[in-house]
Amino acid sequence: MAVKIILLPGDGIGPEIVGPAVEVLDAVAPGELEFEQHVFGGACIDAHGTPLTDETLDACRGSDAILLAAVGGPKWDTTDPGRPRPEQGLLALRRGLGLFANLRPVRPVPALYDASPLKRELIERTDLVVVRELTGGIYFGAKTRTHDEASDTCVYTRAEIERIARVAFGAARSRVTSVDKANVLETSRLWREVVHELHGAEFPNVELEHLLVDNAAMRLIAAPRHFDVILTENMFGDILSDEAAMLTGSIGMLPSASLAGGGSAGEPRGVGEPPTPGVFEPVHGSAPDIAGTGAANPLAMLLSAAMMLRHGLAMEAQAAAIESAVDRALAEGLRTPDLGGGASTAEATQAVLQHL
């Protein structure tokens, strides 16, 4: 039986980079993957009045993995709390599938050392992963809004912190840096306590350090090689992962995996049930400014497809084939405009296909 992949191209450059991902996946796993595309985000608001339909969420639940490009754009930007936003679809999807563990690896490619705004000596040999809690915190707490006042509530439970910390310790080679704001926030004080306790009880052989988020933001730029696993809550992880993206030269390079556990194919839903499918998506957004110009960098999308093969489908060899084809295409000089070059989306895709 073919492996079923749901494609959610979304908005802006989304549809332009999903096509290349399907081409590359078909090249590494011919005939093995079956694709089903659904409208999502702003495109879904236009078609159905909501950014994620129940039908699409059900299709995702019944699939083996979900490959998502990007959502959002000026057309749907609003500060009116009563109107739907494309991003709500993304949050509903993550939450609806219980994808609490977001992995964002940051490994600058040697060929791109000089494409980063940071000095080569600084970023060389950086190899870190941001493990971001994805279904809790201020993103999902109660919100209020009146004409003159607004509030967002940040809530974390011990169980939510423990399960994401377990993923982080499991992913660590040497060290987990837990990032919080424990000098100010109560949720961060609980976070620190729970991570500390879990470390002592289950992972005493992994080094653990705690950093305040402002200090972590500084050190990420000053000494990125220091980091192995950065474990943090939803909003801090959102911010730090965009910052970390610049170590690779462009946010157009960063893939991500959102999983319901730390295992290679997610955690089983229950006895006899298949694992929860993961969502695999680039860290970048829908780049409405370049949508339709054919200039989008498809590499983060291709690398997300590789993460899908590895973490979602246990197809490690095919995942590694895509990653090394991307590396070799870059080593041969492939540069899209975000990396200071002139290659189009189609040319970048061809360059990767040639190296498979």
Q: Which residues bind ligand IPM (CB under 6 A)?
A: 87, 90, 238, 283
Per-residue mark of binding to Mg ion, 233-272 (x: CB under 5 A): -----x----------------------------------
Among residues 136, 22, 122, 104, the alpha carbon closest in space to that of 282 is found at 104
Bridge partners (DSSP) of residue 67 are: 7, 280
Among residues 46, 25, 43, 42, the alpha carbon closest in space to that of 34 is found at 25
Q: How many positions of this chain bind Mg ion (CB under 5 A)?
A: 1
Q: Which does 90 bind (CB under 5 to 8 A by kind): ligand IPM, Mg ion, none?
A: ligand IPM
Smallest distance from the beta carbon of 283 to ligand IPM, in angstroms? 6
Bridge partners (DSSP) of residue 151 are: 144
Residue 184 to residue 319: CA distance in whole angstroms: 42
Smallest distance from the beta carbon of 312 to Mg ion, in angstroms? 21
Bridge partners (DSSP) of residue 6 are: 36, 66
Q: Is 214 a catalytic residue?
A: yes
Q: Which residues contact 348 (CB under 8 A, 6 or more apart)?
A: 20, 297, 298, 299, 329, 334, 336
Residue carrying the six token digits 């979602």: 312
323 is a contact residue toward Mg ion (CB under 5 A): no
- Find the length of the chain: 356
12 or 298: CB nearest ligand IPM = 12
90 or 339: CB nearest ligand IPM = 90
Q: Is 4 a catalytic residue?
A: no
Phi, psi of 52 (to 5 degrees): -145, 120
Give one word for 12, left, alpha or beta, with left for phi > 0 and alpha for psi -120 to 50.
left
Q: Which does 103 bind (CB under 5 to 8 A by kind): ligand IPM, Mg ion, none?
A: none
Q: Is 118 helix (H, G, I), strand (E, B) or coil?
A: coil
150 or 331: CB nearest ligand IPM = 150
254 or 351: CB nearest ligand IPM = 254
Q: Which does 202 bind (CB under 5 to 8 A by kind): ligand IPM, Mg ion, none?
A: none
Smallest distance from the beta carbon of 77 to ligand IPM, in angstroms? 12
Smallest distance from the beta carbon of 221 to Mg ion, in angstroms? 17
Q: Is 156 a catalytic residue?
A: no
18 or 245: CB nearest Mg ion = 245
Q: What is the DSSP string of 101-122?
A: EEEEEE---GGGGGGSSS-HHH
Q: Is 11 a catalytic residue?
A: no
Q: Is 26 a catalytic residue?
A: no
Smallest distance from the beta carbon of 103 to ligand IPM, in angstroms? 12
Selected catalytic residue, list 64, 139, 156, 338:
139
Q: What number of helices (H) and strands (E) belong to the chain?
A: 12, 12
C-alpha atoms less than 13 angstroms from C-alpha of 231 in its C-beta half-sphere: 28
For binding to Mg ion (CB under 5 A), which residues are involved? 238
Catalogue the active-site residues.
139, 181, 214, 238, 242
